[in-house]
Amino acid sequence: MSQQDASSVRALSERLLIASHKGQADHVVQLINKGAKEAITKNGRTPLHLAAYKSHIAVVRILLAAGCELDIQDDGDQTALHRATVVGNADVISALIQEGCALDRQDKDGNTALHEAAWHGFSQSVKLLVKAGANVHAKNKAGNTALHLACQNGHAQSSKVLLLGGSRPDSKNSVGDTCLHVSARYNHVSVIRALLSAICSVTERNHAGDTALHIAAALNHRKTVRMLLEAGADSRVNNNTGETALDQARENDNPEVALLLTKAPQVGKHTRLRLYRTHLVPKPAPLHQQTNQRPKMDERL
């Protein structure tokens, strides 16, 4: 190829990036037919990255049919699947999966596409990835599974999909927190109900020796404290500094929680069977009832 031809191909390839970003399907076809190749942006993103992130499904299909590489990772080690999952576009995710993309590539933070879907609460995307065989047990660099992230942000529906897909609620992250610890810290009651319905452990301790009850008591999460006690949490457990959940409540000036905990022997007699019978812990909703929400999209290339 002459220098002039090479320059012409580079120009076409740059135009392909722009057309893919803007969703100009006809223009993308014309550029490919003229010999445009896969160029990358300053962030290492290909036309497929750009089209996937902007939810341009027609362009994505054209690029896939033209043989664009599926699993190129950008400067943040994200693939086109990551980028599609960040915005929760089920059609693009399905197209990439059907084409045989890698499901469990990890970005610079160790997050897979499933982590992204769970973090944002895109339950339909979570469902697609789980059904396709994404690893629900994969951990990012902080030791968090996708379920940890769904629990942290209070995404109950995504949490239920992950639990139905085999996620282990008692898996621990790098500080020893289970999903119940995380949910108790952020006071996500609906997620706690889902975890309890999956028979998670209420006795697990993190690296500080705290149970979920310690955390909820310290943060004055009264309803969470009550739910944990009714599920059988032991208020007498000491953490690594020898403190019980009652000690934590008193230290943080949470009198109502402290009162609940002083009555813990009576509350503790209630079992999870009572929770189920009184419908405090509902069964997970059927998969077909899951919803999908999308945040405002970043306009950056």
pLDDT for 300 equals 38
Which two three-digit tokens encode residue 119? Answer: 């973090």
Pairwise CA distance, residues 69 & 166, whole Å: 31
pLDDT for 291 equals 41
Report percent pLDDT > 90 for the chain.
84
Cα–Cα–Cα angle for 174, 178, 182, rounded to 5 degrees = 95
Q: Provide the 10 A C-beta neighbour count for residue 300.
A: 8
pLDDT for 264 equals 74
Question: In this structure, are residues 147 and 153 in contact, taking their beta carbons and an 8 Å threshold?
Answer: no
Pairwise CA distance, residues 43 & 29, whole Å: 24
Residue 2 pLDDT exceeds 70: no
pLDDT for 246 equals 96
Split at pLDDT 50, 70, 90, the class of 7 is: confident
Pairwise CA distance, residues 275 & 224, whole Å: 13
Note the Cα 72 to chain centre separation in Å.
22
Residues 6+ apart with CB under 8 A from 177: 148, 185, 206
pLDDT for 4 equals 60
Pairwise CA distance, residues 187 & 33, whole Å: 55
Question: What is the pLDDT of the chain when averaged over all its residues?
Answer: 89
- Per residue in 23-33, pLDDT (tens digit) is 999 999 999 99
pLDDT for 180 equals 98
Mean pLDDT is lowest, of 49-63, 86-100, 257-271, for 257-271
pLDDT for 28 equals 97
Mean pLDDT is lowest, of 16-20, 222-226, 284-288, for 284-288
Residue 241 pLDDT exceeds 90: yes
Split at pLDDT 50, 70, 90, the class of 280 is: very low
Split at pLDDT 50, 70, 90, the class of 60 is: very high
DSSP class of 96: H
Pairwise CA distance, residues 18 & 210, whole Å: 52
pLDDT for 263 equals 86
Residue 279 pLDDT exceeds 50: no
pLDDT for 292 equals 40
Report percent pLDDT > 70 for the chain.
86
Split at pLDDT 50, 70, 90, the class of 242 is: very high
3-state secondary structure of 129: helix
Maximum C-alpha span of the chain: 85
pLDDT for 3 equals 63
- Per residue in 128-159, pLDDT (tens digit) is 999 999 999 999 999 999 999 999 999 999 99
Report the predicted TM-score, pTM, of the whole model to 2 decimal places.
0.86
Residue 283 pLDDT exceeds 50: no
